[in-house]
Amino acid sequence: MVQLEHGGLIQMVDSHVHIGYSEKCDKSYSLDQYGKWLESNGMDSAVVFPNVTDYQTAFQVNESLLNECFLYKGNIKFYPFLIINTFEKEMLPQVCQKGVYGLKIHPSILRCFADNTNFEEFYSLKLPVTVHCGRDSFSRIDYLILAAKQFPDTNFIAAHLGGNTTDLIIRALTLLEKEKLPNLYLDTSNGKSPRLIKKAIDILGIDKILFGSDEPYADLTVQKFCIECLNLNESDTNKIMGDNIRRLLNG
């Protein structure tokens, strides 16, 4: 736990972490390594995704992450979210295993939209679903909004403040302000602008914003500093840094 300047204590959760090697990044973490990094930064737990590689299937990287979680003996609580690839037949039984807390979809890698009918059987499980949002046309938040409307009992998390770049984040917030979807949340991963995070809070409300780092593609300490720059009160800090995501995980 971390001591706030005004005396309160918060339990902090990183809602967006990639574990394992990927050719797309010059840095990688094992679960044990990231656990130590979290502890050194005053964090208590993390939502973790397996990293995508060019030589392993989604099923394989998911199994590797689940094995690491099973063997982990440290102090951090990890919540594995498994990557979905609907073209792998073993995928549905895999995500239904005990100890799986949610799903991760990366539309630009899969080359399909978030509202694709192939995802329907996974959305029907009612596990939280984190969806990559970014500049690639497959990753636009428009399709995630359609999926959230179609599955109102499933909670969706739009990664990277719904856009990953300033123009797309602003566009996403404009769309979400009109839609007012109760089951769609934003994580702050790679959202390096306190101004944009504050805009997201003002539009969606403090209960819809989840702290995330996007390690190793972004930096945990930088992302934490962005939240500190907002000068939120204790209650709102607690919500962003842990309470909101724990509510989804426990639900």
**Strand (E) or helix (H) holding 50:** strand 45-50
What whole-number distance in Å separates Cα of residue 28 and Cα of residue 25?
7
Cis peptide before 128 (omega within 30 of 0): no
What whole-number distance in Å separates Cα of residue 220 and Cα of residue 43?
10
Tokens of 93: 């039984």
What whole-number distance in Å separates Cα of residue 150 and Cα of residue 18?
28
* Nearest of 37, 39, 130, 33 to residue 81 by alpha carbon: 130
Burial class of residue 200 in the structure, from the number of CB atoms within 10 Å of its CB (0-12 exposed, 13-18 middle, 19+ buried) = buried
Domains and CATH numbers, the chain: 8-250 (3.20.20.140)
6: pLDDT confidence band, cut at 50, 70 and 90? very low
Give φ, ψ of 161 to 5 degrees. Answer: 55, 25
8: pLDDT confidence band, cut at 50, 70 and 90? very low
Cα–Cα separations (whole angstroms), residue 120 to 44, 84, 245: 33, 12, 23
- For the stretch 176-235, pLDDT in tens is 999 989 999 999 998 889 999 999 999 999 999 999 999 999 999 999 999 999 999 999
What whole-number distance in Å separates Cα of residue 201 and Cα of residue 131?
19
- For the stretch 65-78, pLDDT in tens is 999 999 999 999 99
Cis peptide before 216 (omega within 30 of 0): yes
State the pLDDT at residue 10: 57
DSSP 118: G
State the pLDDT at residue 172: 96
pTM of the model: 0.94
Q: Could you tell me how many residues make up the chain?
A: 251
Neighbours of 248 (CB within 10 A): 20
CB-CB contact of 135 with 169 (8 Å) = no
